[in-house]
Structures are given as structure tokens and as C-alpha cells.
Chain A
Amino acid sequence: MSEREFEIYLGLLTRLLKLSPRQRQAIEQELRAHLEERLEDLMEKGYARDDAIAAALEEFGDAAGLADEFTRVARTTRRRRRIMQTSIGTLAAAAALALAFTFMLPEHRPGVPDQPRAQADAGPVVETRDVAVDESSLPDWLREASMTVTFDNTPLHEALRSVAESVEGDFFINQPVLLATLGDRGLAQPVTMRAAEADVVTVLSLLMEADERLTYHVVDDVLVITAASEPEPTITLKPYDVSDLLELEPAAARPATMQEITSVLAPSLGDRGNIGIYRYVLVVRATPAAHEQIKQTLDMLRLLRRDHLREARALRRERVEAAEREAQNERTGRPPQDHMTEEQ
């Protein structure tokens, strides 16, 4: 039993949480359990269903404020954890440095047996790519993740999986594409690497070096490991006309409301998208998945607005009718009468 209003609220809240997908999901699940149980209790006490839903939601307050609170708590925790690591870690850090990475590549890459050796005189056998990663573009849950690595002739696909599983966010290993590009033997090539408390990003980059056909990127907050030949999802440009959401706003308040709508949508954008505001149209550059999320969020906002709209229209109608009655009364000279009040 999950009320549509609850889902709208929770959807909005989780979109506003600047946390990893897993953290967002945990919060959503915890609050949903509360809302459902509260609804049951209120209805047992004799509340009408709609009133019970409204009362249960009201106890949570506005979604944006609550999302802020949760985000702030989680952020301070993360900072604290990092500080703890560095203070306890003087010894551990030294040990990790000393160990560094003992990273061995298979001498002969399966599938290309002779070519590297033939080139050996001319330069390095394995072409190393720049490991430097622009970390600023990576989400916190990936940038700050660390892991202990003990790969000992571990098949490449297992190594990739264990790295992906060590991060707190969602991941996707594009197995079909990897299999098509690297083949069974490529995916099974042994990897040896040892490191304590290593940055996951570094480990990933080193694995990518093991086979230049591999690559990873973060799309819509999901870590994707795939073949380098597979292009990143294309960014497309789409206009979203939101003038209907501003129907109730006085003209002067509309720019501020446009900003508000933009900030609600921003978390859905992922790291490569952006939003431009042109009067009452939002022009969004984003991946197809992000466009889908934006569409859903706007649908939610429209649902929320619809109720306000209905109330506002009813109010306006009442006022018009009252004015008409008054005009009528003035003309006929009769006092206002009760029975003329329309009943719904």
C-alpha cells in the first residue's frame, strides 16, 4: 500500500538529497515505512483517508528543508570519517605508501601475442595512459571511496566487480559490450595488485591501464565500466515549457519561481548536463536518462500544483458569484439571502 501523495513527496525529497543513490534509497524506505504506518494509525482513529494522508505528510514538513537536514548530517559524517582516517592513519598511510602498488601485467596479452614484443625495443610494451583523473568531476561517493586490494592472478572481470562493489554508489558493468570487445580470454586475464586503503579511483585507473580497451565513467550518478569503444550516452538538448506551472504566480514572482524549479531539477542532471532559463521555458542539456528524470519531476510538480490550482479556481468562482449576487441585490433592492448561497 503506497499512496500516490507519499510517492510524490518521497520522490521529490530523494531528488533533493545530495547523497549517493544507496543513501537516498535508505532514507526513502525508512520514511515510507513511517508514512504508511502513520496513515494506518490515523485511519484507525477515524480520520478520512485524504485527511490522514495530509496529516501524515504535514508532520514531515517541506521536502526541501528535510532533504537539506539529511544532506547536512551525512556530509558532516563523511568529513569526520576522513579526519579520523588521517589522524589514525599516520602508520597505515606509511605502510600503504611502502607497499605502493605492486601491479603486474600479463606479459603477453591474449589475442595479441606478438605485436607488443615486436615493439618492445621501440618503447614500452604496454602503452600506459595518463592515470591522472579529473577528480572534481567525480561524485563524492566515488572520489572518497577507498578499498583494500588483494588481487592475486585474479581474473579481470572478478577484479572489476570487486572494485565496483566496494563503492557506496550504484554501478553497472557493461558485460555484453566488454565480452564483445575483450572476449572471454580478455576478461579472464589475470591481474595482480596489492594495496591497503587505496583510493578506488586509483585502483580503477590502474585496471583501465591493464587493458586500454577498458574505460569507466559516471553517468547519472552510476559508475559505468565498459569498453572504450562504446561511446558515452549522447547529450541532447530539449526545451521544457513550464509556463503552466507559473499560472498562479504574479508576473513579478515568476523569475524566482523559475529559479526554484531549476534547483529542484538540478540534482537529476548528472555531471554533464545543464539548464538554461529562457523566459518560461527551460532548455536542458542532458543524457536521455536525465531527460527522463526531468520529465518525471516536472510531472510531479504538475500534480502538486493541480490541487492548488483547483482551490484557486474554486475561490475565484466563488468571488465572481458573490459579486454577481451583490450586483443583483443592489438592482432589486433585496437584502442578500442565505438560500442563494450555492452548495457544492
Chain B
Amino acid sequence: MPDDRLQKDLLRGSLDLMVLSVLAEGSTYGYGIQKRIAAVSGGAVRVQAGTLYPLLHRLEADGAVRCRWDRAGGRARKWYELTAAGRRRLRDQASQWEQHAATIRQLLEAALPGRPSTSS
């Protein structure tokens, strides 16, 4: 199933960026991040919990996010918030990603002319 593998590779390569982007919208907890990504992708992208939490802890270790415990909503949850370093990382990764996407888009337009393009 090569399609499935591509999907997985794409996800692996962009997971940090997705999580940082969600946190840029405002602080939230692990499950909130997972739900937000699922909602944006129309349910196509489900970040596995077993992947998400070690990633969040790594971002915390890197100083890209900081966290606090909050009982909002009656349940003690660990909330994550982007730090200044996290915002910088988001900007860096975003511009790399945009560049990468632009390259692919251009190649695709040449390879498959007349194909409905998503770029506006």
C-alpha cells in the first residue's frame, strides 16, 4: 500500500508543524490538539495519542512549549502553550514547508497540465 505509506511519511514530516500551529491559535491540552487536527482535516488525519504525547513532551523539553495544570471543566488537564521560541520555530518550519509545497505544486502543474489546481 504505497499510498498509505506516503500518507504516513507526510504526517511524520509535518506533525511538529501541525501541533505548533494548533497551539498558535491558543493554549490547549493534548486531546484538544488531537481533536482540532482531526476537525481541520475532516477526520482524515488522526494523530495517534501514542505519538502525540511524546512529541508534546519533546517540544516542552526543547522549550518550544510550556505547560501548566488546570482544572477548567472539572478535569485536571495539562495545558500547553507556545513560548517565544516555539513561535520562532513555527515561523521557520512554516516557511520551509511553504517552499517545499510550492516546489511540488510547480512540478505537478508541469507534469499534469490542466489538472484542477488548488493554488489560487
Q: A residues bordering B, Cβ < 8 Å?
A: 26-27, 29-31, 33-34, 36-38, 59-61, 65-66, 69-70, 72-74, 76-77, 80
11 A-B interface contacts by CB (under 8 A): A33-B75, A33-B77, A34-B53, A36-B75, A59-B46, A59-B50, A60-B49, A60-B50, A65-B50, A69-B54, A70-B54
With known contacts A73-B54, A73-B57, A33–B31 Cβ distance under 8 A: yes
The 3 tightest CB contacts between A and B, nearest first, are A61-B50, A69-B54, A77-B61
Contact B61 A73, beta carbon cutoff 8 Å: yes
- Determine whether the beta carbon of A59 is less than 8 Å from that of B48: yes
Asked whether B88 is an interface residue with its Cβ less than 8 Å from the other chain, the reply is no
B77 and A59: CB pair below 8 A?
A: no
Residues in B neighbouring A73, C-beta threshold 8 A: 54, 57-58, 61
Size category of the binding interface on chain B = 10 to 19
Summarize B's interface: helix, strand, loop or mixed: helix
CB proximity of B74 to chain A, nearest CB, Å: 11
In the complex, chain B residues 17-37 whose Cβ is within 8 Å of any chain A Cβ: 29-31
Q: Which residues of B contact A66 (CB under 8 A)?
A: 50, 53-54
Residues in chain B near residue A70, CB distance under 8 A: 53-54, 57
By a CB distance below 8 angstroms, the chain B residues around A31 are: 49, 53
**10 extra interface residue pairs, beta carbon distance < 8 Å, beyond A26-B78, A34-B30:** A30-B30, A30-B77, A30-B78, A31-B49, A59-B50, A60-B49, A73-B54, A73-B57, A74-B61, A80-B61
Residue of A nearest to B75 (CB): A33
| Docked-complex contact B75 and A74, CB < 8 angstroms | no
A70 to B49, CA, bound (A): 13
- CA separation between A38 and B49, bound complex, in Å? 10
* Residues 31-79 of B at the A interface (beta carbon under 8 Å): 31, 46, 48-50, 53-54, 57-58, 61, 75-78
Near A by CB (< 8 A), chain B positions 71-105 give: 75-78
Q: Is the CB of B49 within 8 A of A59?
A: yes
Task: Find the B residue at minimum CB distance from A77.
Answer: B61
Question: Min CB distance, B67 to chain A, in Å?
Answer: 9
CB <8 Å contact, B53 and A30: yes
Are A37 and B57 within 8 A (Cβ)?
no
A13 to B9, CA, bound (A): 27
Residues of B within 8 A of A37 (CB): 31, 75
- Chain B neighbourhood of A33, CB < 8 A: 29, 31, 75-78
In the complex, the answer to whether B57 meets A74 with C-beta atoms within 8 Å is: yes
Q: Given A30-B77, A33-B29, A33-B77, are A76 and B61 also a contact pair (CB < 8 Å)?
A: yes
Provide the residues of chain A in CB contact with B77, threshold 8 Å.
30, 33
Q: What CA separation (Å) do A31 and B29 show in the bound complex?
A: 11
